[in-house]
Chain A
Amino acid sequence: MTQPETLLQVRNLKKYFPIRGGIFGKKVGDIKAVDNVSFTVNKGETLGIVGESGCGKSTTGRSILRLEEPTAGEVEFEDSLLNELNGEEMRRMRRKLQMVFQDPFASLNPRKTAGAIIEEPLTVHGIGEARERKEKVKELLQVVGLDAYHAERYPHQFSGGQRQRIGIARALAVRPKLVVADEPVSALDVSVQSQVLNLLEDLQEKFGLTYLFIAHDLSVVRHISDRVGVMYLGRMVELAERDTLYDNPLHPYTQALLSAVPVPNPDAERERIILTGDVPSPSDPPAGCAFHTRCPYVMDICREKRPEFQDQGDGHFVACHLMDE
């Protein structure tokens, strides 16, 4: 096997949102949405990021594309540091980095036709003549499984699954290298969800795309990803090859998360770990390991020292003090 080529490298990414209070709107604290996250994405692979609401998975995706300005850290894409580009350079760079959003109802302009929506990125990046662009739009509609005549219709005339296809066509219009998909199938029914997942896989093969696939549904992430990272309270707690992570999870949080998923098989016998309590607030994360308040194996050191995110062999990264035992 050849050494995989790195496409995206995220180093110590942080995104803090200030909390303002008092009559002068003085900063009184931070929401640590993303707190020191590092990972790499290889060319042509799908890296899945899972976690519960508020774990920072979406903010991570948005900070990479600089839809949110990162507070600290580096994002290296191909040979450039995205966080050091100026506005114009970043705008041009976005041709290579596109995003597919969760809500197919909110992410399409209701006053534009599907054709105009898909054409917009081409216009913005100055690709082709007007007529060529129209052709391109038709081609894209067919690629995502819609018909050319759909170009004249408005978003409200489409079903949820079809809208998500339009969102995908828009992202693909500029032939990006990396697509960040933020919960692309969460708003869809199961039968439509499988259609969109199959489409994403087909497109990846056809155009050699690299995906950063962000979702909360562990089964969906297992299906589509090559490697999977698990986030908890703004931190990456575990990252490994797909099957390694699902068959042999090392972090107690990953273990609990996997055991909590209801499985559509009444005969499955599983040991369920039911975590007590809720996720702590990211404005005041616990000291030491962020998971220590709910961890069944908590030790003294967990309350004091934040565990390092370390490779346990074969690219299986875990941030847990149990690994040092």
Chain B
Amino acid sequence: MAETLLELSRFKMHFHTDKGVVKAVDGVDITVDEGEIVGLVGESGCGKSVTSLSVMGLVPQPPGKVEGGSIKLSGRDLTRLKRKEWQRVRGNEVAMIFQEPMTSLNPVFTLGNQMVEAIRQHKEINKKEARQLARETLQEVGISRDGILDEYPHQLSGGMRQRVMIAMAMVCRPKLLIADEPTTALDVTIQAQILDLMRRLNRETNTAILMITHDLGVVAEMCDRIIVMYAGQVVEETDARRLFRNPQHPYTIGLLKSIPQLDRRLERLYSIPGNVPNPRQMPSGCRFVPRCEHALDICREKEPPLFSLEDGHTSRCWLNAEEKEEADRDTTGNTAPSS
């Protein structure tokens, strides 16, 4: 059994704005084991990006405020770190790559310049050694052309830039790589190259990856375990196979039914009625209730907890509670006569 690397428990990140409090992340539990690839999926505004930025300590506070819970990386609580201490964590232990690599690279410096600077922030080596290390890391991500270190970001294509970002993130061999929509801005053939590269790095260096995306196809191909978020909360979590075969939460079910398929054509797509709730006025009870086809009375009154089903499958839905009770009744009913 691999050890737990990252553990968010009851983590809350709220934003205090003039118009009210936005509960962007509201009591989220997430664990990532060493060497694991975990997918965090959800639609825009569900809190997946704020969750990942919180792990990196990149949410500006204020307006953001940690309202409770903890983020533990290898046992240490990150929410209590001082600014100086953060600098040792970021890059060394956890690194991040973003959707649009161009905005993460400085357009007026050469790649060599930027990479050497980043490396020397973390390692006490001279420029020449740092340059050598940069060249080696670039080779690992499949860029081996001469003179690459003297080129500027605009001279590279989108896919190449994302490779450079991955190289920079991997240079200090972090234990955890957070990838926020790493292939969303790329074309499919380039996306396939980058996903292949990330899988290879995960295998070879045992770096755990927290993959944040809205693309269910990408998570299906990449991830061991998948966490679905809706309106600032985790609504379902299970291993990749189970999620696609046997989803439990009505939101996950709706989401899976609404994607067009490549290998067959459905007559008509399912669509989840309504829209995501306004983050300043969350519905009472279950947050999905205004859009749910199976809503019960209890759903409008009481917020459902995360119910544990079998094999670590969890779902935040009262329907699962009912099923569980029924199942419990069935088993007691069955055992009673035989005893």
Residues of chain A having any CB pair with chain B under 8 Å: 52-53, 159, 161, 189-195, 197-198, 201, 216-220, 222-224, 242-243, 246, 256-268, 272, 274-276, 278-279
Contacts and interface: CB of A to CB of B under 8 A. Distances in A.
A264 B217 CA distance: 4
A193 B258 contact: yes
Main secondary structure of the interface of A (DSSP, over half): helix
Contacts of A197: 260, 269
B106 interface: no
B259 A264 contact: yes
B10 interface: no
Given A190-B259, A193-B258, A264 B244 contact: yes
B189 A242 contact: no
A260 to B, nearest CB: 4
A299 B260 CA distance: 36
Contacts of A52: 187-190
Contacts of A266: 220-221, 240-241, 244
B43 A190 contact: yes
Contacts of A246: 262-263
Contact of B188 (A190, A193, A224, A261): A261
Contact of B258 (A194, A259, A268, A272): A194
A257 B188 contact: yes
| Interface magnitude class on chain B | 35 or more
B266 A223 contact: yes
A287 B148 CA distance: 26
B189 A275 contact: yes
Output the residue of B188, B219, B255 with the most chain A CB within 10 A: B188
Nearest to B213: A262
Contacts of B254: 191
Contacts of A191: 43, 254-255, 258, 271-272
Contacts of B215: 262
B105 interface: no
A189 to B, nearest CB: 4
B82 interface: no
Interface in B238-267: 240-241, 244-245, 254-256, 258-263, 265-266
Contact of B260 (A189, A222, A267, A268): A222
Contacts of A220: 260
Contacts of B262: 218-219, 222, 246, 258, 261, 263
A159 B188 CA distance: 27
Q: Which 9 A-B pairs have the closest CB atoms?
A: A262-B217, A223-B260, A52-B187, A194-B258, A260-B192, A194-B269, A189-B43, A264-B216, A194-B271
A194 B270 contact: yes
Contacts of A257: 188-189
A249 to B, nearest CB: 12
A193 B43 CA distance: 11
A60 to B, nearest CB: 17
Contacts of B190: 52, 278
Given A190-B255, A264-B220, A266-B221, A222 B188 contact: no
B132 interface: no
Given A197-B260, A262-B218, 13 more contacts: A189-B214, A190-B255, A190-B259, A191-B254, A192-B275, A194-B272, A219-B217, A222-B260, A242-B265, A262-B195, A262-B220, A275-B192, A279-B157
14 contacts: A52-B187, A191-B271, A192-B43, A194-B272, A219-B259, A219-B260, A219-B261, A257-B188, A262-B191, A264-B244, A266-B240, A268-B263, A274-B193, A274-B196
A144 to B, nearest CB: 14
Output the residue of B43, B196, B262 with the most chain A CB within 10 A: B262
B328 to A, nearest CB: 30
A259 B188 CA distance: 9
A224 to B, nearest CB: 8
A192 B268 CA distance: 14
Given A197-B260, A272-B192, A278-B190, A265 B268 contact: no
B220 A263 contact: yes
Contacts of B118: none
Nearest to B239: A266
B160 interface: yes
B189 A190 contact: no
B44 interface: yes
Contacts of A242: 265
Output the residue of A216, A263, A268 with the most chain B CB within 10 A: A263
B159 interface: yes
Contacts of B240: 266
B240 to A, nearest CB: 5
